[in-house]
Amino acid sequence: MSKYQHTSMYCYPDTDILINLFDLKDEEKLKELEKVYTLFRLSELRIRPPKDPLDMEAFLEIHRYILQDVYPFAGELRKEMISKGSSSFAHPKFIDVEMRKIFAGLAEENYLKGLPREKLISRLAHYLAELNALHPFREGNGRTVREFARQLALNAGYRLEWEKIAAPAEIINAFVDSFNTNNERLENLLDEVIAA
- Domains and their CATH numbers in the chain: 27-195 (1.10.3290.10)
Residue 138: what residue type?
A: R
Ranking 56-65, 78-87, 109-118, 151-160 by mean pLDDT, the lowest is 78-87
Residues 135 and 175 sit within 8 Å (Cβ to Cβ): no
User: What's residue 6's pLDDT?
Assistant: 53
How much is the average pLDDT of 19-33? Answer: 98
Give 33's contacts (C-beta < 8 A, 6+ positions apart): 20, 22, 24, 70
Closest CA to 88 of 135, 126, 128, 139: 135
Ranking 58-72, 84-98, 107-121 by mean pLDDT, the lowest is 84-98
Longest dimension (CA), the chain: 51
Residue 149: what residue type?
A: A
Give 110's contacts (C-beta < 8 A, 6+ positions apart): none
